[in-house]
Amino acid sequence: MQTLTDSFGRRITYLRLSLTDHCNLRCRYCMPEDAHGSGRARRLSLEETARLVGLFARMGVERFRLTGGEPLLRKDLVPLAAALTSLPGVRDLSLSTNALLLEQSAAALAAAGVGRLNISLDSLQPERFADITGGGDLAAVLRGIEAARAAGMTPIKLNMVALNGINDDEITAMAEFAQARGLELRYIETMPVGGQGEWSMRHHLPAEQIMVRLKEHYGTDLLPQHEGAGGPARMYRIGAHGPRIGVISAVSRHFCASCNRVRLTAAGDLVLCLGNENSVSLREPMRAGMDDEALCDLIRAAILRKPERHDFNAPQVAPLRPMYALGG
Ligand code: SAM
Ligand code: SF4
C-alpha cells in the first residue's frame, strides 16, 4: 500500500486523534469558560475511529496519540485503546491527558497497550493550578501521576505551558519535581490558537527566555542533546544522569520542515496543520458508505494539500480552531 507523502516530500507517520472536544478543565490558554463541546452525533464512534486508524496504519502511519479535549472523559476509552493497539501496523499508541481522572484508569489503560503518556501540569501550587485551569484539583492530578507510575506507563512526560507573569517562577521547581520522579519534562510556548489566542500571546514566554532561566539555574549541568531526538522539542539533560527536558517553540522557532504529523478531530475532520485551517471531512463520506479504497484515495489527496508551514507569525492570523478541538 502506497505510503502518505505530502507535496513537499514529507512522509506522514504520526496521527493525533482528538477523541472529544469536551473537557473537565478550562485552561486559560485553551478553552473559554463558557465553551461547550459539540454533540455526540457528530463524534466518531469507536468503530469509525478504529476503521480510520486501520486505514492510516495501512498507509504507513505508525504512531498514534489520543488527545482531546480531555480523552479520559470518553467512557469507552479503554476498549477504544485496546481496539487500536490490536490493529496491524499500529506500533505506538500514546495518550495526552490532564490526569484529573487518571487515578481510576491508569492500570486499565496500561493493560490496553497505552504506554507513553503526556500529562499537562502548569503549576505545583494548588491555588495557582486552580486559577490557571479554571478550578482544577492539583491533588487529583498528582494522584493520577502516581497511578501511572505504579502501572508502569513509560515514558511519562510532563507538559508545562510556560506563562509569562503567571508560572514562570516555577520553571526550575517543575524540573526538580520531574527529576525526583524519573519523569521527562517539556516546556511549551503558548500558541495563538482559538478564542484564547489573545490571552495566550499576552503571556507568551519565548523559548529563549525559558532557556535563560534554565541556564541561570543549572549552568554547565544543562547538557544539550542530539538535535532531532525529541521531535519538535529542543532537548537537554540536567547532568549526565538527570531528567531529559525539552523546550517546544512552535512560534519562535517553527519545526515545519520536518513535520510528519496530521490530526483527526473528534468529528472526523482531517486537519493538515495546527496553524492552518485546511481540513477535509472523513466522517461524511464514511457515513455515506464510501469504501476503504476510496477513503484511502481521499486521505492521500488531502495530504497533498498539507501546507508547507504554519501561519502563526503572519501579521493577520485568522482565528484558528481552538486547541481543545484540535488536541494540541
Ligand atoms: N486535555 C489534555 C491535556 O491537557 O493534556 C489533552 C488536550 S490539550 C489541548 C493538549 C496540549 O495542548 C496540552 O499540553 C496543552 O497544554 C496544550 N495547549 C492548549 N492550548 C495551548 C496554547 N494556546 N498554546 C500552547 N499549548 C496549548
Ligand atoms: Fe482541557 Fe487540556 Fe485544554 Fe486544559 S489544555 S482546557 S485540560 S483540553
Smallest CA-to-CA distance from 263 within 110, 84, 52 is with 52
Query: In this predicted model, what pLDDT tens digit does every residue of 178-225 receive, in sequence order?
Result: 999 999 999 999 887 766 778 888 899 998 899 999 999 999 999 988
* 185 half-sphere exposure, CB direction, 13 A CA radius: 28
Regarding the beta carbon of 25 and ligand 2, being less than 6 Å apart is answered: yes
Q: Is the pLDDT of residue 133 over 90?
A: yes
**200 part of a folded domain:** yes
For ligand 1, pick from 27, 145, 196, 261 the residue to mutate: most ligand atoms within 8 Å of CB.
27
- Residue 197 CA: which ligand 1 atom is closest? 23
Regarding the beta carbon of 122 and ligand 1, being less than 6 Å apart is answered: no
Query: In this predicted model, what pLDDT tens digit does every residue of 30-81 receive, in sequence order?
Result: 999 888 888 888 899 999 999 999 999 999 999 999 999 999 999 999 999 9
Q: Which residues of 203-240 are buried (b: 16+ CB within 10 A; e: fewer)?
A: bbbbbebbbebbeeebeeebeeeeeeebbbbbbbebee
Cell 506522514 belongs to which residue? 12
Regarding the beta carbon of 190 and ligand 1, being less than 6 Å apart is answered: yes
Model pTM score? 0.94
**212 part of a folded domain:** yes
Q: Are strands 244-248 and 63-67 parallel, antiparallel or unpaired?
A: unpaired
**129 part of a folded domain:** yes
**3 part of a folded domain:** no
| φ, ψ of residue 265 in degrees (nearest 5) | -80, 170
Dihedral Cα 129, 133, 138, 140, nearest 10 deg: 180
Confidence band of 82 (pLDDT split at 50, 70, 90): very high
Total number of domains in the chain = 1
**5 part of a folded domain:** no
The CATH code of the domain that includes 119 is 3.20.20.70
- Residue 18 CA: which ligand 1 atom is closest? 7
pLDDT at 196: 72
**314 part of a folded domain:** yes
Q: How far apart are CA 283 and CA 302, in angstroms?
A: 14
**1 part of a folded domain:** no
- Domain of residue 304, residue span: 14-325
Q: Is the pLDDT of residue 98 over 50?
A: yes
Angle at 15 between CA 253 and CA 271, to 5 degrees: 75
Regarding the beta carbon of 29 and ligand 1, being less than 6 Å apart is answered: yes
Regarding the beta carbon of 265 and ligand 1, being less than 6 Å apart is answered: no
**93 part of a folded domain:** yes
For the record, the C-alpha cell of 174 comes out as 517543575
